[in-house]
A and B are shown apart, each in its own frame.
Chain A
Amino acid sequence: MTPPDYEYLRKLLKDHSGLDLSADKQYLIESRLLPLARKCGLSGIPDLVTKVRGGSSSHIAQVVEAMTTNETFFFRDKVPFDHFRDTMMPEILKARAARRSVRIWCAAGSTGQEPYSLAMCLKEMSTALAGWRVEIVATDLSQEVLEKSKAGIYSQFEVQRGLPIQMLVKYFKQSGEFWQVNPELRAMVQHRQLNLLHDFSQLGAFDIIFCRNVLIYFDQDTKINIFNRLARLVEADGFLVLGAAETVVGLTDTFKPVPERRGLYRPNAARAAAAGAVMPRVAAAAAGR
């Protein structure tokens, strides 16, 4: 790829998705865009760049999708799901005992492995959650990725990475070489297309937000901006979960790390009160709960 083409794509991705590629990520662009060029019936990346430079909106959208789709697997990194089961949910179960509802947002839901992993965790604690309203909202930039998540159909390869075999047997239905998440689990997850660069206040308040392995692609100002907007959506006693390579430290004081729980953050009460950041449960009220 020529340096001007690379610079052009870098800027395009930054403008459309906030993806902030460093100067040495040619290989990443090439590895993602060559399959796309082929899929579009083009001879290679130069032709694809020509289409994009020509302003073809469908090609632009596909380039953005191809570059922002990240590998994911069930129970990725494991530890956040242990925190979910052992730290976050026990607190939420107590704190919401009167309201009996829990709302969870997967802000980079991707192809569904994370939201369905959370749904499985919740199913495993269904006795404690009997009579509760449980909502998981999965959002992603990419419509194509969301469609896959909605379908909940995974290859044999995908279901073997991170998913314990007992969970596969319990929560999936086999269909030839593929495995589909059972309808009960699928019904627990709502899907919405969403660009984190845009306003997301319409989603309403959440008890727990998983926002993992997406902010690493953004520049510092964008990260700060997103953290501040996330802080307005998470309940004052709620949680934010970041990826292993991500932190709020040094960027914002709207969240503070939970001691000895890596990747786990809570809204900073002092800061939130000062900013008047605690939101009413708009969506909950609108839904008549």
Chain B
Amino acid sequence: MKTCLVVDDSSVVRKIARRILEGLAFTVIEAEDGAKAVEACKVAMPDAVLLDWNMPVMDGFEFLIELRRMPGGDVPKVVFCTTENGIDHISRALNAGANEYIMKPFDKDIVAAKFQEVGLLALDVPTEA
């Protein structure tokens, strides 16, 4: 089973994300800010990180920079999931090594589509109209 680290300072968002990701057969680990996420990655690198941008202590962007410098930190697929929906933020995230980007609000379809996009999920059976 693949693991996904959910990093968000809102416990409500973490709970929603957990439900969606468990539905997609991921084991979910939670962190409430970037610093706690770094600690979690030192214990074990996850396969995926669903990452909020604005958080206290260490924000998502700082975490991403830190992660990509860690040994094995190039492995996890990082999918931002944030209300920061401006093209400038998206470009910064991609340049810093993010793999995908979700603009909140999000739902299961969007998470599944983005996770498929970066190869974390097998393709669905094609949808019927």
Contacts and interface: CB of A to CB of B under 8 A. Distances in A.
Interface of A: 70-71, 76-79, 156-157, 160-162, 164-166, 168-169, 174, 177, 213-214, 216-217, 243-245
B108 to A, nearest CB: 11
B102 A160 contact: yes
Contacts of A71: 129
Contact of A77 (B86, B106, B110, B126): B126
A79 B126 contact: yes
Contacts of B85: 156, 174, 177
Nearest to B125: A244
Interface of B: 85-87, 90-91, 94, 100-103, 106, 109-110, 113-114, 116-117, 123, 125-129
A164 B100 contact: yes
B129 A216 contact: yes
A244 B100 contact: no
B126 A169 contact: no
A239 B63 CA distance: 48
B113 A162 contact: yes
15 contacts: A77-B126, A161-B113, A162-B113, A164-B100, A164-B117, A165-B94, A165-B101, A165-B117, A166-B94, A177-B85, A214-B129, A216-B129, A244-B127, A245-B126, A245-B129
Nearest to B86: A174
A25 to B, nearest CB: 13
Nearest to A214: B129
B59 to A, nearest CB: 19
Contacts of A243: 126, 128-129
Contact of B87 (A174, A213, A214): A174
Contacts of A169: 87, 90-91, 94
A79 B123 contact: yes
Contacts of B91: 169
Nearest to B90: A169
Nearest to A212: B129
A19 to B, nearest CB: 11
Given A160-B103, A165-B100, A245 B128 contact: yes
A78 B123 contact: yes
Q: Which 10 A-B pairs have the closest CB atoms?
A: A244-B126, A213-B129, A77-B126, A165-B101, A245-B128, A160-B110, A174-B87, A70-B129, A156-B103, A161-B113
Contacts of A78: 116, 123
Given A70-B129, A160-B110, 17 more contacts: A78-B123, A156-B85, A160-B106, A160-B114, A162-B113, A165-B94, A165-B100, A166-B94, A169-B90, A169-B91, A174-B87, A177-B85, A214-B129, A216-B129, A243-B128, A243-B129, A245-B126
Contacts of B127: 76-77, 244
B129 A161 contact: no
Contact of A161 (B94, B100, B110): B110
Contacts of B110: 157, 160-161
Nearest to A78: B123
A157 B113 CA distance: 12
Given A165-B101, A174-B86, A160 B94 contact: no
B52 to A, nearest CB: 16
A76 B123 CA distance: 11
A160, A168, A214 — which one has the most chain B CB atoms within 10 A of its CB? A160
Contacts of A216: 128-129
A161 B109 CA distance: 7
B122 to A, nearest CB: 11
Nearest to B117: A164
Contacts of A168: 90
Contacts of B113: 160-162
Nearest to A177: B85
